[in-house]
A and B are shown apart, each in its own frame.
Chain A
Amino acid sequence: MWKTLRQIQRIGIATEPPPSPDDALRVREELQAGIREVMGRALCIRHIDAGSCNGCELEIHALHNPIYNLEGLGIRFVASPRHADLLLVTGPVSAHMEVALRRVYDATPDPKLVVALGDCGCTGGVFGESYACRGRVSNIIPVDVAVPGCPPAPNSILTAILTAITASKRAP
């Protein structure tokens, strides 16, 4: 216990201060304001891997580290689509995940915001379309924002989430 406390004390707060006005933190400030305006106090995200290579998942995990500190921004990943405001979809959509993806979308309450992640989510990426692969996410469900990258860096994922929230504000 003593060692644990000492380690916590020694490392301190790892969450980064803004390196420059237009970098990571600016994204976060906007993001927080956006969430407050649209969602009240918190944004709930449901992640669905529709057939990714698992690279995009690694960068989603990074959002939870103390440096990006996603939860500190009021953004939470939830275990059920029924609790979600936003779906974060990775991968090209494999044929075997098509039904599951549609069901998750149907189970999500309005407004269903959808962010498609990575080159695969945007275009089908290196996997394309085939007997087993339906390609981009928007081939199966409506997508609000698509963020390229293979995999996209954590800050790009944050930017995408923000953009989705802003776009939804414009909708009637």
Chain B
Amino acid sequence: MPLRRWLNEATPLPGAPRARALTVDADAWREAARAVAAAGGRSITLWAAGGGRTLRAAFATGPGVLVLSLPLAAGAETYPGIEDLFPCANRLQRAVADLSGPRSTDTDTRPWLRHAAWPADYHPLVAQGGPAAADGTAVEVYPFVRVEGEGVHEIPVGPVHAGVIEPGHFRFSVVGEKILRLEERLGYAHKGIERRFQSMALLDGHRLAARVSGDSAVAYSWAYCQALEGMAGTEVPPRAVWLRALGLELERMANHLGDLGALGNDAGFAFGLAQFSRLKEQLLRATEHALGQRYLFDFVVPGGVGVDPAPEALRALGACAEDIQREVVRLREIYDEHAGVRDRFNGAGTVLPELAARLGLTGLAGRASGQAFDLRCDLPCEPYTELRPRMVVRGEGDVAARVAVRFDEFVESCRLLGEILAHLPDGPVRVSVETPAEGAFGIGLVEGWRGPVFVALEAGAAGAIGRCHPHDPSWQNWPVLEHAAIGNIVPDFPLINKSFNLAYSGHDL
């Protein structure tokens, strides 16, 4: 059955634009997923709800978002895996087994988010209390895939890294300097976010959502509120909607500035770090002056935004962005003309479009590898329907392409910022939100700076959160980084890794 038919059978889902939901049985689960894959759709995420007895999967397709629900039959402990159709499902399915219990029929049954801190038969999203014995000293023995051959040796790195970065473990198999294989072991930052949601009120969850991955606070809190407001039937005032977009673009600009500096530094050009980090500081200060916070952790709130900026501060913000843009254009010339930087950027960590499509590379990194997908253009919510952002796509798929996408997106975000400031509607910035009834279900989907940020929200009894599943695009992109590293030399890995700049916390939950 073609995708169009599945979508026709599905019913509208509150929250994100053009979202539809469909309940299926085990056979239809795979058939529908196959139809999505055949139509060039992308997997967004996969999770378990309903006390671990209902599997859900979300897909982005041309006509809209499709959320499948598969209630497990009584006694059933497995469901059909979809790793062959969407490779990123591998880790998602293992995480479902760790946190909720049900296993997929796919063959990789290693734990993913669970290490040794709680026993395998304890499923935190289903269990009532805590695990019987919490062991603070247990160390996990994880079965890494071993590469055999003459002169092959392993380099284990992490979870504590040499720089100021999040925790994670990388296992390199190398010959000399050359990387034959990279295997990631993540989950170190797992702090029980999904379970924590279940102890919070629906009208309070945006605070935790903003802290799933701090560098994407606006994207997550907006996605959360989009789901909640859809469920509650809230009309968010236009001024608030436009201010949310302002916050989202500021978040994109700040992160891109930070990365562009760090990438120059990793290529041995400390000048770049000094220049870009100075510009980022300027932007953060102007953001704080206008919106009250350097990082917008508590800006997007249910029903609108938390502050109504003064016109003078917005003017200053606009002027600051224009200044910074002029500097960025100058610095881009310097990066482009610097032989040493070019040499390190070009051809490093290449993911060609064909591989990117097969593995589901998404967001910024995807667009650097020919994956022309940006929610702001493909499934826009307000005000992007009016702003009409220009999508930035490159085909080379190397570090240089990921740098170029950042440069171009920065300039485009400056343009959007100017548009937003010029056309910001008047009126209130917040309305009250009714508490959705128990059982209500909605999703939020927002293009964060790294890629699509997704939140699924289900209402529990008496205004509590029944289930909340946040999803970071890093889930899609971490496995692709393993491919990007192959054939490169170990000393180039920090640069390649930085060019993806994936989230640990957002992934580990």
Q: Is A54 a contact of B503 with CB atoms below 8 Å?
A: yes
In the complex, whether B130 has a CB less than 8 A from a CB of chain A is yes
Q: How far is the CB of A132 from chain B (nearest CB, A)?
A: 4
In the complex, whether B187 has a CB less than 8 A from a CB of chain A is yes
In the complex, whether B386 has a CB less than 8 A from a CB of chain A is no
In the complex, whether B273 has a CB less than 8 A from a CB of chain A is yes
Q: Which of A21-29, A32-40, A95-103, A160-168 lies on the face that meets chain B?
A: A95-103
Q: How far is the CB of B386 from chain A (nearest CB, A)?
A: 31
Q: Which of B68-76, B163-171, B233-241, B476-484 lies on the face that meets chain A?
A: B163-171
Q: Is A94 a contact of B213 with CB atoms below 8 Å?
A: no
- The interface size bin for chain A is 35 or more
Q: Is A94 a contact of B191 with CB atoms below 8 Å?
A: yes
* B122 surroundings in chain A (CB, below 8 A): 131
* B196 surroundings in chain A (CB, below 8 A): 126-128, 130
Name which of A57, A65, A67 has the most chain B CB atoms within 10 A of its CB: A65
| Known contacts A60-B164, A153-B294; is-contact A55 B215 (Cβ 8 Å) | yes
Q: Which of A54, A60, A62, A134 contacts B281 (CB 8 A)?
A: A62
A21 CA to B193 CA, complexed, in Å? 43
A143 CA to B406 CA, complexed, in Å? 39
Q: Is A96 a contact of B188 with CB atoms below 8 Å?
A: yes
When C-beta atoms are compared, the residue in chain B nearest to A132 turns out to be B192
Taking CB atoms and an 8 Å cut-off, the chain B residues in 73-123 that contact chain A are 115, 117-118, 122
When C-beta atoms are compared, the residue in chain B nearest to A95 turns out to be B117
Q: Which of A3, A47, A56 contacts B337 (CB 8 A)?
A: A3
Q: Is A55 a contact of B297 with CB atoms below 8 Å?
A: yes
* B17 surroundings in chain A (CB, below 8 A): none
Q: Is A65 a contact of B166 with CB atoms below 8 Å?
A: no
Q: Is B190 a contact of A54 with CB atoms below 8 Å?
A: no
Q: Which of A7, A54, A131 contacts B166 (CB 8 A)?
A: A54
Q: Which of B54-62, B134-142, B312-320 lies on the face that meets chain A?
A: B134-142
* A64 surroundings in chain B (CB, below 8 A): 273, 277
A98 CA to B135 CA, complexed, in Å? 10
Q: Which of B191, B213, B338 contacts A132 (CB 8 A)?
A: B191
A94 CA to B208 CA, complexed, in Å? 16
When C-beta atoms are compared, the residue in chain A nearest to B330 turns out to be A7
Name which of A48, A49, A80, A100 has the most chain B CB atoms within 10 A of its CB: A49
Name which of A53, A64, A125, A134 has the most chain B CB atoms within 10 A of its CB: A53
In the complex, whether B333 has a CB less than 8 A from a CB of chain A is yes
| Known contacts A4-B338, A7-B330, A54-B504; is-contact A49 B189 (Cβ 8 Å) | yes
Q: How far is the CB of A101 from chain B (nearest CB, A)?
A: 8
Q: Is B258 a contact of A132 with CB atoms below 8 Å?
A: no
In the complex, whether B295 has a CB less than 8 A from a CB of chain A is yes
Q: Is B212 a contact of A57 with CB atoms below 8 Å?
A: no
Q: Is B115 a contact of A53 with CB atoms below 8 Å?
A: no
Q: Which of B139, B165, B284, B506 contacts A99 (CB 8 A)?
A: B139
Q: Is A79 a contact of B163 with CB atoms below 8 Å?
A: yes
Q: How far is the CB of A164 from chain B (nearest CB, A)?
A: 18
A153 CA to B294 CA, complexed, in Å? 8
| Known contacts A94-B189, A97-B189; is-contact A131 B130 (Cβ 8 Å) | yes
Q: Is A151 a contact of B214 with CB atoms below 8 Å?
A: yes
| Known contacts A53-B211, A126-B211; is-contact A131 B124 (Cβ 8 Å) | yes
A3 CA to B382 CA, complexed, in Å? 41
Q: Is B333 a contact of A3 with CB atoms below 8 Å?
A: yes
Q: Is B118 a contact of A131 with CB atoms below 8 Å?
A: yes
* A47 surroundings in chain B (CB, below 8 A): 163-164
Q: Is A132 a contact of B124 with CB atoms below 8 Å?
A: yes
In the complex, whether B344 has a CB less than 8 A from a CB of chain A is no
Q: Is A52 a contact of B214 with CB atoms below 8 Å?
A: yes
* A57 surroundings in chain B (CB, below 8 A): 164-166, 214
Q: Is B337 a contact of A150 with CB atoms below 8 Å?
A: no
Taking CB atoms and an 8 Å cut-off, the chain B residues in 256-307 that contact chain A are 258, 271, 273-275, 277-278, 280-281, 284, 294-295, 297
* A11 surroundings in chain B (CB, below 8 A): 275, 278
A64 CA to B214 CA, complexed, in Å? 19
* B258 surroundings in chain A (CB, below 8 A): 58, 61
When C-beta atoms are compared, the residue in chain B nearest to A77 turns out to be B164
Q: Which of B162, B190, B334 contacts A94 (CB 8 A)?
A: B190
* A94 surroundings in chain B (CB, below 8 A): 188-191, 508
Q: How far is the CB of B199 from chain A (nearest CB, A)?
A: 8
* A59 surroundings in chain B (CB, below 8 A): 294-295
* A53 surroundings in chain B (CB, below 8 A): 211-214, 505
Q: Is B195 a contact of A132 with CB atoms below 8 Å?
A: yes
In the complex, whether A14 has a CB less than 8 A from a CB of chain B is yes
Which 5 A-B pairs give the minimum distances between C-beta atoms? A55-B214, A95-B117, A132-B192, A65-B277, A79-B162
Binding site for A on B (CB under 8 A): 115, 117-118, 122, 124, 130-131, 134, 136-139, 159-160, 162-167, 187-193, 195-196, 207-208, 211-215, 217, 258, 271, 273-275, 277-278, 280-281, 284, 294-295, 297, 330-331, 333-334, 337-338, 503-506, 508
Q: Can you list 26 pairs linking A and B with CB atoms under 8 Å apart?
A: A4-B334, A7-B275, A49-B167, A51-B191, A52-B166, A52-B189, A52-B214, A54-B213, A55-B295, A58-B258, A61-B277, A64-B277, A91-B191, A92-B191, A95-B117, A95-B136, A96-B115, A97-B167, A99-B139, A100-B188, A126-B211, A127-B191, A127-B196, A127-B208, A131-B192, A153-B294
Contacts A11-B275, A62-B280 known; list 8 others, CB within 8 Å. A54-B505, A56-B214, A79-B163, A91-B191, A96-B117, A100-B160, A131-B131, A134-B136
